[in-house]
Amino acid sequence: MRRYAMMSLLFLFVLIGCAPEETDVLGIKQPDDEKVTKATVERVIDGDTLKVKLADGKTEDVRLLLVDTPETVKPDTPVQPYGTEASAFTKETLPSGTAIRVERDHSRTDRYGRLLAYVWYGDKMLNQELLRKGLARVAFVYEPDTRYVDMFEQIEQEAKQSKKKIWEHDGYVTNRGFDAQAITETKSCEIKGNINRSGKKIYHVPGGQSYDEVKPEQRFCTEKEAEEAGFVRATR
């Protein structure tokens, strides 16, 4: 009887050892082939929005599912901190002509008629990489479009703990979007980012000749942060 009990316990341990880890369950790494459509990037509109040409030749705007990046092109909304960086990352990652895979969930479009999707390039997913780099928050979580939400929330938590980008400033990320006031009120973030009429991105440091007159479209805490966002230092 004792021998039988020992063998049963050994068998149980083997089963437990072979069971998939929780991270494997959460970290779905490959798309659902039945919900994937091949496409080509035409242009990036914003960090979380792009225009693509589907395999059938139809052009569509695609809005990334379950993530939200700071605004850069929303009407009547100033460019939000880190929005320029998020947009730049998406543009650098998916230049015009890039072959991608568009994976839908359950809903096809949002109220603006944009396709809702997870965008894959190679073996990576854009939605996931924006979260990983601290350039997006998990947002607009509505059933039944939640295939990757557990994995996304886990990645977001890691970025938050590491204080990456949007998580550098307490209060900037809210459950309703981004609060730029939380950054502009931070004394250490005094570098002003401005885009002139010709589209050139220039940043001004305290003490500069034009610093006091500049109305910032974006603020930075360090010059490195400004340069990573594509801004160059003012010559005076």
* Residues annotated catalytic, as ranges: 63, 71, 114
Give whole-number Cα distances, 198 to 85, 195, 217, in Å. 19, 8, 15
Closest CA to 39 of 134, 103, 84, 91: 103
CA distance 64 to 229: 21
Q: Is residue 182 a contact partner of residue 44, using CB atoms and an 8 Å limit?
A: no
Would you state the structure tokens that stand for residue 176, as one six-digit string?
Answer: 């309703």
Alpha-helix residue ranges (DSSP H) falling in the chain: 2-18, 22-26, 83-93, 126-132, 149-161, 181-184, 223-228
Would you state the structure tokens that stand for residue 233, as one six-digit string?
Answer: 């230092």
Task: Kindly give the pairing relationship between strand 59-64 and strand 115-121.
Answer: parallel
Would you state the structure tokens that stand for residue 53, as one six-digit string?
Answer: 């040409």
CA distance 51 to 42: 6
Closest CA to 214 of 200, 195, 230: 195
In the DSSP assignment, the letter for residue 213 is G
Q: Which residue shows structure tokens 């929780």?
A: 22
